[in-house]
Structure 1
Amino acid sequence: MSTAHPAAASAPARVAVVTGVGLAVPGLTLPDELLGTVRDGGFDPATGLVGRDLRHKDRASRLALRATAPALRAAGLFDGDRYTGSGDTTAVVVSTNVGILENVCSFADTIARDTVLGLSPLGLPQTSSNVIAGSVAMAHGLRGPNVTLCNGPTSGLDALYWARALIVTGRADTAVVIGVEPTGDIVTKLLGTPALDGAVALVLESADRATERGARIRATVTGCAREADLAGAVARAGGLTPDLWLTEAADDPAGPPAGSVLDPAAGLGAASGALGVLQAAAAVAHLDTHGGHTVLATCGGPEGDGVAAVFLTGPDHTP
């Protein structure tokens, strides 16, 4: 005797949304300043990167921690003292290309001068590329997946891709995405220009989780892709028509039609691995005002090994 079982109904696809944004960028306070809003004051690394909670941490980790706290607070997940979400289901995804360069070069100089006997064990973790993500996770008790991407020009948008994937596949309910690049003499020598010396953080959540706790949904990460060229990346990410295109390549003749084009990182220094996350933060600021719009962010180009594209849509967007 056999028993037939009805086919299980497929679960609805999980959707990744943005509920929080935080900046630790010199001269800036809120993400709308990436779109041109001007305020007095803003973050100052000279005074903002000190404190007992930052002792024995590398510069990139300190910047990341200073961007993460306001992002979690904006998402309603930080009460000023502790993380109020589920640490077990919260991931940290960091993008940085030169974040630990100064640390590694300093250790190499010490070894060349004093051999390994001259190294400090307290500083050794700072030579790991994942020290930034680890510092954020330990500070807030985030025990989900912990990843650092050092992937060149597309790294920031690639971090959004992986954070979205973690949420859509159920590996995490929440993800803190951070783009950070510290400055320094060695970084400036390598890049030929000063780096951003700042960080930006986004809080991504499953739409269901955000709705359950009554969080304000500020944007939906509608599509992400990475391809050999701009046209291919845009098409694979969803092929939507953006109201705003955020890019460094505003004069690219293959660019998609857009109501307006903007480089939110202009004038901030070499954003490198933080660029894509900065673009996403600017997109959220735009969608805070224009809830029905679609924003496209793109990084990379012909001189690199690919182009990354991310579409973000506002809470009032109609497909």
Structure 2
Amino acid sequence: MNATSTARSGSGPNGREVVVTGIGLALPGVGTYGDLLGPLPGEGGFDPATGLVGRELRHKDRASRLALRAAEFALHDAGLTDADAMFTGAADSTAVLVSTNWGNADSVCEAVDTIATAGVTGLSPLGLPQTSSNVIAGWVAIRYRLRGPNLTVSNGVTSGLDAVAWARNLITAGRAEAAVVVGVEPGNHVVTKILGEQSTDAAVAVVLEPADAAASRGARPSATIAGYARSRNLAEALASTGATEGGPVGLWLTDGTESAGAGAGRLLAAMRRIDLESQLGPLSGALGVLQCATAAAHLASGAAGNVLATVGGPRHDATAALLLTPPPPALRPSMQERGQHP
């Protein structure tokens, strides 16, 4: 997507609206996605010490293990796994999209260090696959035998929202019947050294499906992806999503770096704001997907207004904005039915 790409409508050429049907979190201190609306509990939730172990998680980098857990919870939440945690949807046409900027940097650095000290013969055949830029998406697809489009977005601050938009585009273009979108960043010494501050273990996954397909299988969507734009500044992005001329926006999910124009400023002034990074620490590629999960929590709670998620600003090369609206009334869930993970 270039710096002026937009997607205004919730439906594509085939007339299908795309909705969020499942959410999964592997995020310390956050038990359910309703917690994201704040204040955050700060304790409980996902425990990496116990949650990232197990036979099927062996020989995988930390980001891949976090992503697999988040995907597991999201697919369960969407009702797309059976009692044995096997995928029950259309595997041939389900896409996997991962947003990460630092995901396997530790594996790459480790491989480079090994080559420098022991040569290529010192590399482990079990560790070398972890240096692939698409390894996280690959592991999610392998685990659930998903054979649809498979890709990783490493697009800086806008990466998470870009990944959600790409997933929606794949569905509306008929390239996929569903998509698992994962935003993940590991908390390790390599990322901490790059950022100059303690990094955050964070993984979140959302399942996207066409609204008609979700209805046919009795799923309960929590949000509709209504508009998206990636542009030079926030005012342009908001106009392109339809946020400035559509229904009222009740919640603005921001990364704290925005600088709106005069018209956009009036629109945003009346909104409730949540800055997830101010509470959870650096989220990088996981942020946009986590914003999508937070938007779904707001809409599923029955709160008034649409939700706007934005990232980027003057200090970055672009700004991305995603507008989410309530799902069709007949499909709306109850918060008591959603957000609990096995």
TM-score of the two chains, using structure 1 as the length reference? 0.92
Partner of 1:274: 286
Q: For the structure 1 residues 38 and 303, does the alpha-carbon distance in structure 2 shift closer, same or farther, using more than 3 Å as the test?
A: closer
Query: What is the alpha-carbon distance in structure 1 between the residues aligned to residue 30 and residue 53 of structure 2?
Result: 18
Deviation of 1:97 after TM superposition, in Å, equals: 0.1
Instruction: Give ranges in structure 1 of 5+ residues lacking alignment.
Output: 1-9
Partner of 1:265: 277
2:47 to 40, 44, 48: 44
Superposed CA RMSD: 1.7
* One-letter amino acid of the counterpart of residue 206, structure 2: L
Q: For the structure 1 residues 108 and 292, does the alpha-carbon distance in structure 2 shift closer, same or farther, using more than 3 Å as the test?
A: same
User: Does 2:122 align with 1:95?
Assistant: no
Query: What is the alpha-carbon distance in structure 1 between the residues aligned to residue 260 and residue 179 of structure 2?
Result: 35
Please tell me whether the aligned partners of residues 14 and 169 of structure 1 are also in contact (alpha carbons under 8 angstroms): no
- What fraction of aligned residue pairs are identical, expressed as a percent? 57
Deviation of 1:290 after TM superposition, in Å, equals: 2.1
Instruction: Answer with 1 or 2: which has the greater Rg.
Output: 1
Deviation of 1:266 after TM superposition, in Å, equals: 2.4
Deviations 1:142-163 (A, max 9, x none): 1000010000000000001100
* One-letter amino acid of the counterpart of residue 306, structure 2: T
* Helix, strand or coil at the partner of 2:229: strand
Partner of 1:115: 119
Query: What is the alpha-carbon distance in structure 2 between the residues aligned to residue 50 and residue 163 of structure 1?
Result: 29
* One-letter amino acid of the counterpart of residue 168, structure 1: T
Please tell me whether the aligned partners of residues 61 and 131 of structure 1 are also in contact (alpha carbons under 8 angstroms): yes
Partner of 1:5: none
Partner of 1:179: 183
Please tell me whether the aligned partners of residues 193 and 269 of structure 1 are also in contact (alpha carbons under 8 angstroms): no
Deviation of 1:186 after TM superposition, in Å, equals: 1.3
User: Does 2:80 align with 1:68?
Assistant: no
* Helix, strand or coil at the partner of 1:43: coil
Deviation of 1:303 after TM superposition, in Å, equals: 1.3
Please tell me whether the aligned partners of residues 264 and 282 of structure 1 are also in contact (alpha carbons under 8 angstroms): no
Please tell me whether the aligned partners of residues 141 and 147 of structure 2 are also in contact (alpha carbons under 8 angstroms): yes
Deviation of 1:293 after TM superposition, in Å, equals: 2.4
1:151 to 129, 151, 155: 155
1:22 to 24, 33, 36: 24
* Helix, strand or coil at the partner of 1:248: coil
1:56 to 59, 64, 72: 59
* Helix, strand or coil at the partner of 1:266: helix
* One-letter amino acid of the counterpart of residue 307, structure 1: T
* Helix, strand or coil at the partner of 1:305: coil
Query: What is the alpha-carbon distance in structure 2 between the residues aligned to residue 43 and residue 124 of structure 1?
Result: 28
Deviation of 1:36 after TM superposition, in Å, equals: 1.1
Query: What is the alpha-carbon distance in structure 2 between the residues aligned to residue 110 and residue 294 of structure 1?
Result: 50
* Helix, strand or coil at the partner of 1:243: strand
* Helix, strand or coil at the partner of 1:274: helix
Deviations 1:194-229 (A, max 9, x none): 222120000000111101111001100001110011
Please tell me whether the aligned partners of residues 19 and 208 of structure 2 are also in contact (alpha carbons under 8 angstroms): yes
Please tell me whether the aligned partners of residues 26 and 204 of structure 2 are also in contact (alpha carbons under 8 angstroms): yes
The count of corresponding residues between Structure 1 and Structure 2 is 308
Deviation of 1:12 after TM superposition, in Å, equals: 5.0
* Helix, strand or coil at the partner of 2:276: coil
Which range is displaced more, 249-258 or 31-40? 249-258
Q: For the structure 1 residues 38 and 153, does the alpha-carbon distance in structure 2 shift closer, same or farther, using more than 3 Å as the test?
A: closer
Partner of 2:313: 301
Deviation of 1:38 after TM superposition, in Å, equals: 5.1
Which range is displaced more, 118-127 or 37-46? 37-46
